[in-house]
């Protein structure tokens, strides 16, 4: 993904670590909340109903075994991507640095 940061263009890669589930909402179905609050920024949704649903659907012996965090990002001309994963890393293509969240 290409982002603008303080007038400079940066190429970065989002890497979701130990992802458990994905869902995508096309841009036409995104609400103002999707666009305004998570536009080209990775946001975490604490106390997620989706995570609770996934845990409930898992077999009991695996239900609480993994860290499951709900992340969301909106990207122009793509829409909203939601991922349940252990963490997310931002890999900077220019400096080859990685920052885990």
Q: Give a yes or no: residue 26 inside a domain.
A: yes
Q: Give a yes or no: residue 99 inside a domain.
A: no
State the total domains in the chain.
1
Residue 18 region, left (φ>0) first, then alpha (ψ -120 to 50), else beta? left
The CB-side HSE value for 34 (13 A sphere, CA atoms) comes to 18
Q: Give a yes or no: residue 101 inside a domain.
A: no
Residue 51 region, left (φ>0) first, then alpha (ψ -120 to 50), else beta? alpha
Q: Give a yes or no: residue 100 inside a domain.
A: no
Q: Give a yes or no: residue 68 inside a domain.
A: yes
Residue 56: strand, helix, or coil: helix
Per-residue pLDDT of the chain (101 residues; tens, 9 = 90+): 776 667 777 787 889 999 999 999 999 998 887 777 677 678 899 999 999 999 999 999 988 888 999 999 988 888 899 999 999 988 876 555 545 55
What confidence score (pLDDT) does residue 75 get? 83
Q: What is the pTM of this model?
A: 0.78
* Residues 39 and 32 sit within 8 Å (Cβ to Cβ): no
Q: Give a yes or no: residue 13 inside a domain.
A: yes
């Amino acid at each position: 993904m290409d982002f603008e940061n303080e007038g400079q263009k940066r190429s970065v890669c989002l890497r979701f670590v130990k992802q458990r589930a994905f869902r995508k909402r096309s841009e036409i179905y995104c609400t103002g909340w999707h666009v305004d609050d998570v536009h080209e920024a990775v946001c975490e949704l604490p106390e997620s109903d989706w995570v609770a649903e996934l845990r409930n659907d898992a077999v009991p012996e695996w239900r609480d075994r993994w860290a499951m965090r709900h992340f969301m990002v909106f990207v122009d001309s793509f829409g909203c991507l939601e991922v349940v994963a252990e963490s997310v890393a931002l890999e900077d293509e220019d400096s080859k640095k990685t920052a885990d969240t």
